[in-house]
Amino acid sequence: MADWLEDQLHLAMVTLKEQRERIESAKADLASRTASATSPDRMVTVTVDSQNSLVGMKFHTTKYRSMPPEQLARTLVEVFERARQEMADAAVEVFGPLMDQREDLRAAMAGTTDVDKAFAPLFDEAPSDVFGRRRD
């Protein structure tokens, strides 16, 4: 029984370490990306970073000079929102493959793995000062 528990604990730790490495890699990948969108009339292109911060705006024509302020503002907001959506799509692309393992990760974080179940009687019977608090 002790060998089984040790194997299960080792497996859980390896799984968590691998998941953490994949998450860090995905975060770095996403952080290096930008997303851009161009207005339908090709007047302006807006670029955002992975935090959805505006990092670039390029006017391709001088049409904006003669536009009513409300129309220019609406165009800029619409293009910015499209760039943000492009970045959201990139996040799904980068983190999507990790979602297949989310149940394993959630179980490890919530303490509902086989190892946690095996140790539950110990946690329940131990005085609260042994572990700092009782486990649920």
Q: What is the mean pLDDT of residues 112-132?
A: 59
Query: What is the per-residue pLDDT for 134?
Result: 46
Q: What is the mean pLDDT of residues 25-35?
A: 92
pTM score, two decimals?
Answer: 0.63
Per-residue H/E/C for the chain: CHHHHHHHHHHHHHHHHHHHHHHHHHHHHHHCCEEEEECCCCCEEEEEECCCCEEEEEECCCHHHHCCHHHHHHHHHHHHHHHHHHHHHHHHHHHHHHHCCHHHHHHHHHCCCHHHHHHHHHHHHCCHHHHCCCCC
Q: Is the pLDDT of residue 27 over 60?
A: yes
- 123 Rama sector, left if φ>0, alpha if ψ -120 to 50, beta otherwise: alpha
Q: What is the mean pLDDT of residues 117-129?
A: 60
Q: What is the mean pLDDT of residues 90-97?
A: 85
Q: pLDDT tens digits, residue range 101-114? A: 556 555 555 556 66
pLDDT band at 59 (very low <50, low <70, confident <90, very high): very high
Q: What is the mean pLDDT of residues 35-55?
A: 96
What average pLDDT does the chain have? Answer: 81
Query: What is the per-residue pLDDT for 117?
Result: 63
CA distances from 71 to 32, 61, 63, 98 (A): 32, 15, 11, 41
